[in-house]
Structure 1
């Protein structure tokens, strides 16, 4: 079959779980004392059964009954308040994973978090994300994901074509619930603003619409979509 880019995944059904109120209270992270002023608005999705019990990008086991989320660029352990703009409901989550690598989405919530903002049935809702505490969300090193392939050969051919103009270029292997994917990533850029400029260059010159994602220290974890 033809090679396909990595797609978003969301649980198609919800298993029997503990009462939402009891679970959320037990797992609710304590908010940081003061907001840093960083906010963004966009769409939030949620992820559950296929990823539950697998490694998240930070190396811990993803537990969909805890208040966590995936974000492409915020540092791990960042605490954020997520508000559903359709109903005003909000929750505080800890960033533990990377994703969603899907157009028009900025954050992927755990099942517990989606319940708190009442977005489980809708699947995707508009949200405001507010960083809590003194973290600098745009400092650090970033890279651009230009594609994700089931066939490693396709990733290698694109890498070889781009390597004459861009460096570094590397392939990250990701063992997803749907099988192995090979993510092709370009650059190691200091600062999110500079990474977005590189993304614009890749779009203008190569026709890509890449995802800016943080380069995390240490070996990669499981990863999100």
Structure 2
């Protein structure tokens, strides 16, 4: 995806019109073949508001909560977008999703909300500030990454109902979009906590069998099997949650069912 000065200027100019009108009014399951993690064309710029400052990150074990503001974005986020250029862009298909049960937590550790301007992405750092533009209607909206997915082929981002409505894809269910990244709490091109998520499997037995194979083939890795919506999944975390190892696994793994998706945990 090109991230040149002119494209960035057009995105900012078009989005400015939408945001100025919005601010004047008072602020405002999913499941592609593994794709390489996005690499920023320039170093990420991030000055986190105190309300969403990321928690200290351990080197092993569980992934800490990465909170996003209530509602997904703030007036400060929108002002930042209006005065900066994207640091990374990509195009692809978007869809939308909702939680299968009330109180379900997003991957960032907060309770999922249909009403928040948030989205799921497989590899952008959790908490990233983005603008998603519907390439058919040119509707655009800011939102933050708070979840992981979509774990379905040929989709790059999964939106909440509020996010889908804000760019006009709620009724159609899917559309082609541009994702422009403006802030990332952590570097896109270095570090991170990585894994490979494999599935869906139609039976728990097949998922467990594949889990046992991974435990045998990748000694020292952490492997779990878990259920989804009428499906089963396997996740492998290489030693140290190392990105290079995870990328190699995603390239090599060829499950009998489903797809191996490279996924960032943090």
**Could you say whether these structures have the same fold, taking a TM-score greater than 0.5 normalized by the shorter chain as the test?**
yes
Among 140, 146, 155, the alignment partner of 2:198 is 146
Hey, what does 2:249 align to over in structure 1? 198
Helix, strand or coil at the partner of 1:88: coil
In 1, the alpha carbon distance for the partners of 2:248 and 2:170 equals: 35
Among 155, 166, 173, the alignment partner of 2:226 is 173
Helix, strand or coil at the partner of 1:210: strand
RMSD: 3.2
Hey, what does 2:109 align to over in structure 1? 59
In 2, the alpha carbon distance for the partners of 1:213 and 1:58 equals: 13
In 2, the alpha carbon distance for the partners of 1:159 and 1:102 equals: 20
The total of aligned residue pairs comes to 192
In 2, the alpha carbon distance for the partners of 1:172 and 1:183 equals: 4
Deviation of residue 162 (structure 1)?
3.2
CA contact (8 A) 2:202 2:231 kept: yes
In 1, the alpha carbon distance for the partners of 2:72 and 2:197 equals: 32
C-alpha deviations, 1:122-162, integer Å up to 9, x for none?
A: 11111111111254224312111122446443222112223
CA contact (8 A) 1:68 1:113 kept: yes
TM-score by length of structure 2 reads 0.61
Deviation of residue 24 (structure 1)?
7.8
Hey, what does 1:41 align to over in structure 2? 91
Helix, strand or coil at the partner of 1:196: helix
Q: RCO higher in 1 or 2 (8 Å CA, sep ≥ 6)?
A: 1
Farther off after superposition, 27-36 or 79-88: 27-36
CA contact (8 A) 1:24 1:67 kept: no
Helix, strand or coil at the partner of 1:99: coil
Helix, strand or coil at the partner of 1:122: coil
Deviation of residue 119 (structure 1)?
0.5
In 2, the alpha carbon distance for the partners of 1:182 and 1:93 equals: 28
Q: Decide which structure has greater helix share.
A: 2
In 2, the alpha carbon distance for the partners of 1:138 and 1:63 equals: 29
CA contact (8 A) 1:35 1:134 kept: no
Structure 2 portions without partners, runs of 5+: 1-21, 29-69
Pair 171,194 (structure 1): closer, same or farther in 2 beyond 3 Å:
closer
Structure exhibiting the larger radius of gyration computed from Cα positions = 2
Among 162, 168, 185, the alignment partner of 1:118 is 168
Pair 36,58 (structure 1): closer, same or farther in 2 beyond 3 Å:
same
Helix, strand or coil at the partner of 2:247: helix
Pair 199,181 (structure 1): closer, same or farther in 2 beyond 3 Å:
closer
Deviation of residue 170 (structure 1)?
0.6
In 2, the alpha carbon distance for the partners of 1:206 and 1:50 equals: 26
Deviation of residue 68 (structure 1)?
0.6
